Amino acid sequence: MDFILKKKLKFYTKEFLKFFNITIIALGIIIAIILIKYKPMYKVSISGEEIGYVENKQALEETLKEEITENTSKTIEDIQLNDEPEYELKLVNRAEDTEDKTLVEELKEEVTVTYKYYEIAVQETVVEKVDTSEEAEELINEIKEQNNSEDIDLSIVEKYTQNEEEANTSDLEVAKANVQETVQTAIEEIEQQKEEEERWNALPSINGIKLAVTPIEGRITSRYGVRSSIRKSTHTGLDISAVQGTAIKVIADGTVTAASYNGSYGNLVKVDHGNGVETWYAHTSKMYVKKGDTVKAGDVIAAVGSTGNSTGPHLHLEIRVNGEHVNPQDYLYK
289-326 residue pLDDT tens: 999 999 999 999 999 999 999 989 999 999 999 999 99
User: Which pLDDT score is estimated for 197?
Assistant: 92
What is the distance between the alpha carbons of residues 6 and 225, in angstroms, rounded to a whole number? 154
Q: Is the pLDDT of residue 44 over 60?
A: yes
Q: Are 242 and 217 in contact (CB under 8 A)?
A: yes
Higher per-residue confidence, 91 vs 144:
144
Over the stretch 254-266, which tens digit does the pLDDT of each residue have?
A: 999 999 999 999 9
User: Which pLDDT score is estimated for 295?
Assistant: 98
Query: DSSP class of residue 129?
Result: E
Tell whether pTM > 0.95: no
User: Which pLDDT score is estimated for 136?
Assistant: 95
The residues of the chain that CATH labels 2.70.70.10 are 209-330
Q: How high does pLDDT run on average in the chain?
A: 87
Helices (H), the chain: 2-37, 57-70, 100-108, 133-146, 172-202
Q: Is the pLDDT of residue 28 over 90?
A: no
Q: Is the pLDDT of residue 282 over 90?
A: yes
What is the distance between the alpha carbons of residues 233 and 203, in angstroms, rounded to a whole number? 31
* Residue range 144-169: mean pLDDT, rounded: 90
How distant, in Å, are the alpha carbons of 211, 267, 287 from that of 303?
20, 10, 7
* Residue range 110-121: mean pLDDT, rounded: 92
Q: Give the right CATH number for 209-330 from 3.40.50.2000, 3.30.1360.70, 2.70.70.10, 2.30.29.30.
A: 2.70.70.10
Q: Are 60 and 103 in contact (CB under 8 A)?
A: yes
Angle at CA 181, nearest 5°, toward 179 and 186?
90
| Range scoring the smallest mean pLDDT among 13-22, 63-72, 247-256, 318-327 | 13-22
* Residue range 274-281: mean pLDDT, rounded: 98
Over the stretch 198-217, which tens digit does the pLDDT of each residue have?
A: 999 999 999 999 999 999 99
Q: Is the pLDDT of residue 277 over 70?
A: yes
